[in-house]
């Protein structure tokens, strides 16, 4: 069934490309192709919703005929690259995240000239700014996944600790009664107090056995790539210069964040599991917070999909505010999926009209909320405020004990600009090299981290200039 669907879609695509190249049939509506496959959206149930949305668009727009083009995810990148190279690229592409967009850096339409009638007041300004680069406004918000601290209140209660602040800007009261800024110094102290060995001692106490830890204060569940660790401490940026003469520019604040991370694993008062422990079945085989043995994690809203075992075991969690960085500012992350328009489109104004429709109320209803008998095509947090509470209500039904959803909403004001997953030359190779550095931190004690960072900088400069 799935193969037949793709064959049929391919035939439609081939016809659409011919018609589009012929100007859409001489005086009729402009044909705009919507390419799906670079991210989610290719399962038959999703395609059914996408096609229903296309039908809705075509029934309400006389000037444009929207044509759905679905390509299997595994071949979508190569297919899109081939089409663009031939000058036959689709007009609108998505949904696609940062990484998928990076693969086609320089190919996206600058949207500002077409936004005169587009109301940006519906959105948090930070989410609009998230898509601004040196090339202009290259995207607009659609699905967003703000970050927060996920924490286990019972562990704080047992240790006699106050919970992380639920509001940004709120102070934290330490065990001695001192009111302090909720920064990474306070966060680290709390994490150490929540790291417990088999004898019940915490990481700050004499006699603590670092080789028999049964509970850790913190682990960045599925958010431990060094770029993420850095972005939670400072605004990210990896390189300067231009093609052929790029230079690596890892911010000093990122280097400090990596030193903090490494010390949290291997230092005298550890509060994070190393790679072997984090990957063990006892600690969730990588899904560490889900194991119920990690007091705090920092990750994005999409992680609520992955706490089934945690909740079914009777555990509860809440959300807390991200600590402020060394500069006194909050540096959080917002994962995001949206639609892009190809800058080579023969009909950029109409392409933007389609893009605005897809991210607007009708597109959001069909694709994210569900329309009539159709279930939602995509799982994600809508950027349009009118659709956020229904999403939270639906997700919250799985976790009725959570009372701190407002903390999640507040996190929308702190996206990483530019994104921690933002463009860098030869992105895939660079990203993998940085992950190799992260693996080294997770699994190797006794490193001279400054030396390893210098090696990383040198390697990235070579990669960037290939």
Question: Which CATH number belongs to the domain containing residue 75 in this structure?
Answer: 3.40.190.10
Q: Which residues pair with 324 in a beta bridge?
A: 183, 330
**In-domain check, residue 21:** yes
Q: Are residues 251 and 283 in the same domain?
A: yes
Average pLDDT on 216-225 reads 97
Distance of CA 341 to the CA centre of its chain: 20
Q: Are residues 321 and 441 in the same domain?
A: yes
Phi, psi of 299 (to 5 degrees): -160, -175
**In-domain check, residue 104:** yes
Q: Are residues 246 and 349 in the same domain?
A: no
**In-domain check, residue 400:** no
With cut-offs at 50, 70 and 90, classify the pLDDT of residue 19: very low
pLDDT 10s digits, 103-114: 899 999 999 999
**C-alpha span between 466 and 460 (Å, rounded):** 10
Q: Are residues 174 and 323 in the same domain?
A: yes
pLDDT 10s digits, 152-175: 999 999 999 999 999 999 999 999
Q: Are residues 353 and 303 in the same domain?
A: no
Q: Are residues 382 and 433 in the same domain?
A: no
Q: Are residues 66 and 136 in the same domain?
A: yes
Task: Give the pLDDT confidence score for residue 12 in this predicted structure.
Answer: 43
The number of folded domains in the chain is 2
**In-domain check, residue 298:** yes
Distance of CA 303 to the CA centre of its chain: 10
With cut-offs at 50, 70 and 90, classify the pLDDT of residue 18: very low
**In-domain check, residue 89:** yes
**Predicted confidence (pLDDT) at residue 447 exceeds the cutoff of 90:** yes
Residue with tokens 């390419």: 35
**In-domain check, residue 213:** yes
Q: Domain range for residue 12?
A: 2-145+335-393
* SS3 label, residue 179: strand
Q: Are residues 324 and 340 in the same domain?
A: no
Q: Out of 393, 417, 438, pick the residue that ends a domain.
A: 393
pLDDT 10s digits, 353-378: 999 999 999 999 999 999 999 999 99
Higher-pLDDT residue of 282 and 15 is 282
With a pLDDT cut of 70, the percent of the chain lying above it is 94
**Per-residue tokens: 115:** 């936004």
Q: Are residues 84 and 177 in the same domain?
A: no
**In-domain check, residue 398:** no
**C-alpha span between 132 and 146 (Å, rounded):** 18
**C-alpha span between 118 and 95 (Å, rounded):** 20
Are the C-beta atoms of 94 and 337 separated by less than 8 Å?
yes
Contacts 24+ apart (CB under 8 A), 304-309: 304/395, 304/398, 304/399, 305/379, 306/222, 307/399, 309/284
DSSP 134: T
110-139: string of b/e by CB count within 10 Å (b at 16+)?
A: ebeebeeebeeeebbeebbebbbbeeebbb
* SS3 label, residue 220: coil
Are the C-beta atoms of 233 and 253 separated by less than 8 Å?
yes
**Predicted confidence (pLDDT) at residue 15 exceeds the cutoff of 80:** no
Helix ranges restricted to H, 292-372? 308-312, 348-359, 361-364
40-68: string of b/e by CB count within 10 Å (b at 16+)?
A: bbbeeebbebbebbbebbeeebeebbbbb
**In-domain check, residue 399:** no
* SS3 label, residue 56: helix
Q: Are residues 217 and 294 in the same domain?
A: yes
Task: List, in sequence order, every beta strand (DSSP E) within 326-434.
Answer: 334-341, 381-382
With cut-offs at 50, 70 and 90, classify the pLDDT of residue 6: very low
pLDDT 10s digits, 26-48: 578 999 999 999 999 999 999 99
Q: Are residues 10 and 112 in the same domain?
A: yes
Q: Are residues 350 and 460 in the same domain?
A: no
Distance of CA 146 to the CA centre of its chain: 8
């Amino acid at each position: 069934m799935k193969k037949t669907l793709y064959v049929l879609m391919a035939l439609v695509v081939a016809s659409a490309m011919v018609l589009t190249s012929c100007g859409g049939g001489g005086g009729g509506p402009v044909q705009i192709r919507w390419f799906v496959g670079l991210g989610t959206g290719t399962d038959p149930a999703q395609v059914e919703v996408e096609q229903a949305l296309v039908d809705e668009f075509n029934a309400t727009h006389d000037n444009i005929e929207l044509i759905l083009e679905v390509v299997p995810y595994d071949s979508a990148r190569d297919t899109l690259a081939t089409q663009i190279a031939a000058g036959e690229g689709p007009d609108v592409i998505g949904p696609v995240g940062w990484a998928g967009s990076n693969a086609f850096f320089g190919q996206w339409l600058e949207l500002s000239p077409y936004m005169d009638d587009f109301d940006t007041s519906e959105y948090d300004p930070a989410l609009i700014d998230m898509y601004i680069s040196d090339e202009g406004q290259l995207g607009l918000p659609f699905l967003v996944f703000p970050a927060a601290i996920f924490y286990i209140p019972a562990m704080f209660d047992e240790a006699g600790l106050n919970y992380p602040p639920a509001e940004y800007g709120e102070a934290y009261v330490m065990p001695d009664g001192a009111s302090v800024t909720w920064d990474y110094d306070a966060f680290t102290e709390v994490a150490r107090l929540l790291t417990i060995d088999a004898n019940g001692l915490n990481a700050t106490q004499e006699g603590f056995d670092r080789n028999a830890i049964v509970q850790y204060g913190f682990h960045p569940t599925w958010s431990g790539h060094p770029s993420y660790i850095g972005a939670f401490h400072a605004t990210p940026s990896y390189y300067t210069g231009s093609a052929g003469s790029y230079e690596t520019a890892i911010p000093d604040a990122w280097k400090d964040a990596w030193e903090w991370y490494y010390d949290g694993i291997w230092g005298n008062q550890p509060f994070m599991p190393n790679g072997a422990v984090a990957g063990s079945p006892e600690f969730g085989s990588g899904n560490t917070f889900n194991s119920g043995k990690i007091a705090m994690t920092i990750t994005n809203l999409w992680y609520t999909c992955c706490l089934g075992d945690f909740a079914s075991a009777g555990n509860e969690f809440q959300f807390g505010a991200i600590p402020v960085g060394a500069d006194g500012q909050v540096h959080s992350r917002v994962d995001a999926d949206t639609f892009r328009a190809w800058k080579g489109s023969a009909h950029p104004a109409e392409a933007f009209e389609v893009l605005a429709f897809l991210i607007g109320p009708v597109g959001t209803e069909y694709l994210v909320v569900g329309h009539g008998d159709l279930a939602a095509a995509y799982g994600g947090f809508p950027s349009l405020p009118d659709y956020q509470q229904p999403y939270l209500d639906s997700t919250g039904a799985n976790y009725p004990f959570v009372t701190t959803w407002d903390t999640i909403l507040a996190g929308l004001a702190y996206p990483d600009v530019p994104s921690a997953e933002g463009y860098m030359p030869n992105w895939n190779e660079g990203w993998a090299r940085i992950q190799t550095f992260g693996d080294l931190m997770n699994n190797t004690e006794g490193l001279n981290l400054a030396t390893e960072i210098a090696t990383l900088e040198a390697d990235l400069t070579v990669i960037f200039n290939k």
